[in-house]
């Protein structure tokens, strides 16, 4: 009898050792089933768990195992947000010797806190003639195929389709159906594998080896992961939270519901309050957790800790930080380090300055040669007075333009950008900086320097100097403040509109400058790019011809030179375009287009006009044949100019635009004719009430100061038959 009582007592102790644990704050509920911890919100028994987290424990078994939903899912481990369960009972099977294949179903409550984790699990299949499929209750289906013709084709540790294949599972699934079958009806079943298996398993917990093809069910030991969270709302939308004190709420990684975590410096169950919940960690009591060095004194704080170094020392006192160091050690280290750095710095600076100075000298020499300095010296040395007025350093121009600030840009052309600069002596200049640097651009740059040094005319922009010691060569001109003629004619909203007398004077000055280039310079110069945007206006609206980047010097014994055609659309001489023979009459044609711009106020090329009239020169010539001048001249020009004067200028423009260059007048003749026309206009305005009889039309022209009273009924039609 006593022996029976003793055996019964031993069984009772064994049971208590498996199904006992420390009581938590929920009515003294047990927190263990066998060796598995059951933390709240999970619980065993009524009132010991949150809704949906009830756990069963088969306490009558010698080795109790916790499970969900009765005995359906055996729990292996519980962590915050995840639950590991045994999945050996959920394997889909299909073998050649079986009539029917077996499907596997994983079913979770539709409204519960659990879903099959798509982030932690994979869908796998084993077999040599296998197609495996997984689907959920939302008609999401995926799968994989596993084939292996020979045993040597199977690679241990690999699940890429030879004996084993792998696929993702549907997201946030509560119901899954698994199936596996033969692709070829087992007609091609290998001698070492005649079964197919499909299952869900925790990723990286299953390693495929060859023998599993034959004895998988006998040796299967697999688990899968369930995600869990509290409720269906996230932290910001939940009306009340299940988190205890000293904890914080975090949104579940699966997209709905939330979890609780103890705050930094606290440990325990974040879903409980009181002694079972998140409590302060006393780092100083645990030698492994103690963060302080041996010299420092550890003080626990709520939360956290503090490491205090002894008197005469400094530092944070922690093992991971600076620890504790005595002051004299720090001073010695600082002085030694500082002295070493100072000596190293001085030596480095001396070496750097010497190297930089030498490099800078070599770089400037390289740029000087690269930018055509030798060619420039050769070009100007053969011509009297052909030196740049001043050689500027790169630092001077950088300072003058505030390091080439965008607000200093005056304009951009085909060969460079022009900046406004202020020199140290207060002089305002225009600095032209080339955009690119190839051999062609170097030639253009040297060409412009050489040409400008040959010119001495008040209506040609003056070259003040140049800079060759930078990567991009630069020219320094006198600053012309009133912009370009093109801006005043075509951009009237931003510039002052120019009256007809000023337009006529600008045309005359431009013609005189071009005539000087053609016939009075030491060597004739063809500008090659005459246009309104290359005619600058100073503060008195005096014309200044600019941009000689593509101009050409012409030997005295030649009247034309073959060149690659260059110029601007709308201004380009048709004869030059067809023959590639550059003559002085090419500039005459371009100047004729400028005259037409001054008369009409229209752009050289405009698609606002009809297609056949898009070219201004052609439109002007065709209009002269059948229209009155007043129909296509600018309104302000018609209002301010005299009829005879306008007719004379239009006739001169017509002659400049003749298709055959030898029939055009020279620039000298053009300039003389414009002077005559301007003098004629001044004589007419001098007589306030002079009446001029128009013999050709039998009409009278009465001119008063600044007003032509006959424009409204004066028809000026040209007869080109003469």
Positions at the binding site for ATP:
433
Give the C-alpha separation, 553 to 551, whole Å.
Answer: 7
Burial of 131: CB neighbours in 10 Å, binned 0-12, 13-18, 19+: buried
β-strands 54-57, 43-44: how paired? Answer: parallel
3-state secondary structure of 201: strand
Structure tokens at 152: 């040597």
Positive/negative CA dihedral, 93, 94, 99, 103: positive
3-state secondary structure of 238: coil
| 164 CB-side CA count, 13 A | 20
β-strands 164-167, 82-86: how paired? Answer: unpaired
Q: Within the chain, what is the greatest distance between any pair of CA atoms?
A: 159
CA distances 658 to 202, 334, 600, 618, Å, are 90, 87, 18, 10
Provide CB contacts within 8 A for 208, sequence distance 6+. Answer: 124, 126, 156, 157, 158, 159, 163, 164
Give the C-alpha separation, 79 to 84, whole Å.
Answer: 8
Assess whether 529 carries a catalytic annotation: yes
Phi and psi at residue 561, to the nearest 5° = -135, 135
496 neighbors 468 (Cβ within 8 angstroms) = no
Closest CA to 147 of 134, 168, 165: 165
Give the C-alpha separation, 61 to 19, whole Å.
Answer: 10
CA gyration radius for the chain? 49
Q: Could you identify the residue written with the tokens 């405009």?
A: 606
Q: What is the side-by-side strand order in the sheet with 699-704? A: 691-694, 699-704, 707-708
Phi and psi at residue 401, to the nearest 5° = -105, 10
3-state secondary structure of 324: coil
Annotated binding site: 433
Structure tokens at 338: 């500082």
3-state secondary structure of 91: strand
Give the C-alpha separation, 694 to 706, whole Å.
Answer: 19
Annotated catalytic residue within 94, 529, 547, 573 = 529
Structure tokens at 329: 């050690």
Phi and psi at residue 669, to the nearest 5° = -65, -40
Would you tell me how many other CB atoms lie within 10 Å of the CB of residue 691?
Answer: 9
Give catalytic residues, as residue numbers.
529
């Amino acid at each position: 009898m006593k022996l029976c009582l003793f055996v019964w007592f031993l069984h009772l102790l064994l049971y208590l050792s498996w199904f006992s644990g420390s009581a938590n704050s929920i009515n003294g509920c047990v927190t263990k089933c066998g060796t598995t911890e059951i933390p709240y919100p999970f619980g065993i028994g009524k009132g010991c768990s949150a809704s949906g987290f009830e756990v069963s424990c088969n306490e009558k078994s010698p080795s109790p195992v916790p499970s969900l939903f009765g005995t359906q899912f055996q729990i292996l481990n519980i962590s915050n947000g995840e639950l590991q369960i045994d999945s050996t009972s959920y394997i889909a099977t299909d073998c050649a010797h079986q009539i029917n294949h077996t499907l596997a179903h994983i079913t979770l409550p539709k409204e519960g806190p659990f879903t099959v984790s798509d982030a932690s699990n994979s869908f796998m299949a084993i077999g040599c003639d296998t197609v495996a499929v997984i689907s959920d209750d939302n008609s999401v289906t995926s799968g994989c195929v596993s084939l292996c013709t020979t045993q040597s084709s199977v690679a241990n540790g690999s699940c890429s389709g030879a004996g084993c294949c792998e696929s993702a599972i549907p997201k946030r699934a509560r119901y899954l159906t698994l199936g596996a079958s033969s692709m070829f009806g087992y007609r091609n079943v290998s001698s070492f594998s005649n079964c197919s298996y499909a299952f869900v398993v925790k990723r990286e917990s299953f390693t495929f080896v060859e023998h599993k093809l034959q004895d998988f069910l006998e040796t299967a030991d697999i688990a899968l992961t369930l995600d869990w969270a509290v409720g269906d709302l996230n932290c910001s939308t939940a009306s009340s939270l299940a988190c205890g004190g000293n904890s914080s709420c975090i949104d579940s990684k699966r997209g709905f519901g939330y979890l609780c975590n103890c705050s930094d410096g606290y440990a325990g169950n974040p879903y409980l309050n009181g002694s079972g919940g998140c409590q302060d960690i006393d780092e100083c009591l645990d030698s492994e957790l103690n963060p302080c060095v041996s010299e420092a004194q550890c003080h626990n704080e709520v939360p956290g800790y503090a490491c205090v170094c002894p008197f005469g020392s400094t530092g944070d006192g922690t093992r991971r930080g600076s620890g504790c160091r005595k002051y004299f050690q720090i001073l010695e280290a600082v002085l030694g380090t500082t002295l070493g750095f100072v000596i190293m710095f001085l030596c480095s600076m001396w070496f750097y300055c010497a190297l930089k100075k030498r490099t800078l000298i070599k770089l400037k020499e390289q740029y000087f040669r690269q930018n055509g300095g030798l060619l420039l010296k050769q070009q100007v040395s053969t011509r009297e007075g052909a030196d740049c007025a001043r050689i500027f350093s790169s630092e001077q121009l950088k300072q003058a333009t505030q390091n080439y600030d965008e607000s200093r840009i005056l304009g951009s052309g085909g060969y460079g950008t022009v900046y406004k600069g202020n020199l140290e002596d207060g002089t305002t200049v225009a600095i032209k900086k080339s955009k690119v640097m190839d051999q062609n651009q170097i030639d253009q740059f040297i060409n412009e320097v050489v040409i400008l040094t040959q010119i001495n005319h008040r209506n040609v922009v003056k070259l003040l100097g140049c800079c060759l010691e930078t990567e991009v060569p630069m020219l320094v001109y006198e600053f012309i403040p009133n912009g370009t003629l093109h801006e005043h004619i075509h951009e009237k909203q931003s510039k002052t509109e120019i009256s007809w007398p000023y337009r006529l004077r600008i045309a005359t000055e431009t013609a005189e400058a071009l005539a000087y280039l053609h016939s009075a310079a030491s060597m004739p110069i063809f500008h090659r790019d005459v246009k309104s945007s290359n005619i600058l206006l100073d503060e008195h609206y005096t014309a200044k011809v600019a941009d000689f980047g593509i101009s050409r010097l012409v030997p005295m014994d030649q009247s034309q030179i073959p060149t690659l055609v260059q110029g601007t659309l709308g201004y380009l001489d048709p004869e030059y375009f067809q023959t590639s023979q550059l003559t002085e009459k090419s500039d005459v044609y371009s100047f004729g287009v400028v005259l037409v711009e001054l008369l009409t106020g229209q752009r050289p090329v405009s698609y606002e006009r009809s297609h056949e009239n898009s070219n201004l020169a052609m439109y002007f010539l065709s209009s002269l044949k059948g229209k009155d001048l007043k129909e296509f001249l600018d309104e302000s020009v018609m209002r301010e100019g005299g009829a005879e004067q306008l007719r004379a200028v239009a006739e001169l423009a017509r002659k400049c635009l003749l298709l055959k260059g030898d029939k055009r007048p020279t620039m000298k003749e053009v300039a003389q004719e414009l002077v005559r026309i301007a003098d004629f206009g001044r004589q007419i305005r001098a007589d306030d009430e002079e009446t001029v009889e128009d013999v050709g039309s039998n009409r009278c022209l009465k001119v008063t100061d600044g007003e032509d009273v006959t424009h409204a009924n004066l028809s000026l039609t040209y007869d080109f038959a003469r």
